[in-house]
Amino acid sequence: MKYIYDLHKTMLTKNLILVYEGEFTQEITKSVLAMAERNMDSFGEESGIKRKVFNVMVECLQNICKHSESFNVEVYGKNNAIFMIGKQEDEYFITSGNAILAENVDSMAEKLTNINKLDKDGLKSLYKEIIRNGSLSEKGGAGLGFVDMARKSGKKLVFDFEPINQELAFFSLKTTIPRI
Amino acid sequence: MNILNLEGTEDTPKILLDKQNKVFELSGRSLPEDSAEFFQPVLDWLEQYKDNPNDDTPFLFKLEYFNTASSKLILDILSKLEEVEGANVVWFFHEDDEDMEEAGEEFSELVDVPFDFKTY
């Protein structure tokens, strides 16, 4: 039973205010959003910061709903992933981890690296270019999620890929929202 | 012409399109699971309306939040408004919501429809 205490301590030392592990659906997305909102309201977070955190959470959660692969659908359910929010004195961080197809790692890394090279105006131009010329994907995504997260954050997106097996890789993403 | 009236929910906006009473409004939060499906009735309504519109059509956007998939559909709605003679957009944003103000400005640069900005 010690893992319960360990997990609790980890959450406290890492300043995690919300952790969800499991299947991701639109219903779960709404529940997680409502919980995070209530949490931020409970200590009177400033509305501008709250909006940015909400915004990044939505893109992050809906990315998982649309793109996450499952290690094993029968055991873990569809779109199995982890989602966390942390709160420190000076910033929030929104973190997600989910399996993706290994064949998509290179293109995703390239996309994120390019986004990280852009400043505020560069991101704005990229956003306008994609929204003007792009169409919704089969899964209903606009291809704007990462760009929007980077814009709302104002910081670099931190990401990593860990191999799981031949077909799958684990994609971790961290977005920071400054509180000042 | 029929009225399009959808109650808002926690993830979809309130929509009221009423030619006779001159109300054209989209408000609330927009993060539907399938934004293309959700907004299709609005596009269909405007497609029909543009053939016989009112003298002026002030279209109110009073959004608290929208996700990126919705932003693509908002652009589709605005593009449809380009085809409506006498249409203009009234873009509302909360007075401390710079992101929503900027989003409106960006949309106004992407389409050829007059925009008015108002705070609430």
Among the partner-chain residues B11, B75, B98, the one whose CB lies closest to the CB of A131 is B75
Give me the amino acid identity at A146: F
Per-residue pLDDT at B15? 98
Rounded to an integer, the average pLDDT of A103-114 is 95
Give residue A75's pLDDT band: very low, low, confident or very high (50, 70, 90): low
- How far is A31 from chain B, CA to nearest CA, in Å? 10
Of the pLDDT bands very low, low, confident and very high (cuts 50, 70, 90), residue A67 is confident
Provide CATH code, domain A2-178.
3.30.565.10
Instruction: Return the domain boundaries, chain A.
Output: 2-178
> How far is residue A95's CA from residue A147's CA, in Å, rounded to a whole number?
16
Strands B4-6 and A158-163: unpaired
The residue of chain A with its CA nearest to that of B66 is A55
Tell me: pLDDT of A72 over 80: no
Which of A26, A47, A145 comes nearest B68 by C-beta?
A: A145
Cβ distance of B96 and A47 shorter than 8 Å: yes
Q: Which of B12, B63, B68, B119 is the best mutation test for A, with the most CBs of A within 10 A?
A: B68
Best mutation target, A38, A57, A58, to test chain B (most B CBs within 10 A)? A58
Interface test with A, best of B72, B109, B112 (most A CBs within 10 A): B72
Q: Which of B69, B99, B106 sits opposite A51 (nearest CB)?
A: B99
Nearest residue to A105 (alpha-carbon basis) of A165, A175, A29: A165
Interface confidence (ipTM) of the complex:
0.91
- Rounded distance between C-alpha atoms, residue B30 and residue B67, angstroms: 6
CB A150 within 8 A of CB A127: no
What's the pLDDT band for A80 if we cut at 50, 70, 90? confident
Q: Which residue has the higher pLDDT, A142 or B115?
A: B115
> What would the mean pLDDT of A104-129 be, rounded to a whole number?
96
Neighbouring C-beta atoms of residue A151, cutoff 10 Å: 21
Helix (H, G, I), strand (E, B) or coil at A29: helix
Q: What is the dihedral of CA A145, A79, B74, B109, to 10 degrees?
A: 10
CB within 8 Å: B67 and A128: no
Kindly indicate the confidence band of residue A69, based on its pLDDT and cuts at 50, 70 and 90: confident
Residue A58: closest CA among chain B residues belongs to which residue? B67
Q: Which chain B residues have a beta carbon less than 8 Å from that of A58? A: 31, 65, 67
Mean per-residue pLDDT, A51-79: 84
B35, B94, B106: residue with CB nearest A140:
B35
Q: How many CA atoms lie within 13 A of B41 on its CB side?
A: 13
In whole angstroms, give the CA distance from residue B5 to residue B13.
Answer: 11
Positions in chain B short of pLDDT 50: none
Which token pair is B118?
Answer: 């108002």
Residue with the two structure tokens 């949490």: A39
Residue A77 has pLDDT above 70, yes or no: no
Q: What's the mean per-residue pLDDT of chain B? A: 96
pLDDT for position A133: 86
Q: What structural domains and CATH numbers belong to chain B?
A: 16-119 (3.30.750)
- Identify whether the C-beta of residue B50 lies closer than 8 Å to the C-beta of residue B59: no
CB A176 within 8 A of CB A153: yes
pLDDT confidence of residue A66: 87
Q: Do B110 and A131 touch (CB under 8 A)?
A: yes
**Reduced to 3 states, what is the DSSP secondary structure of residue A63?**
helix
Q: How much is the pLDDT for A70?
A: 73
- Tell me if A59 and B67 make a contact (CB, 8 A cut-off): yes
Find the DSSP H helices in A26-169.
26-42, 47-67, 73-76, 105-117, 120-133, 145-153
Q: Cβ atoms within 10 A of the Cβ of A104, count?
A: 15
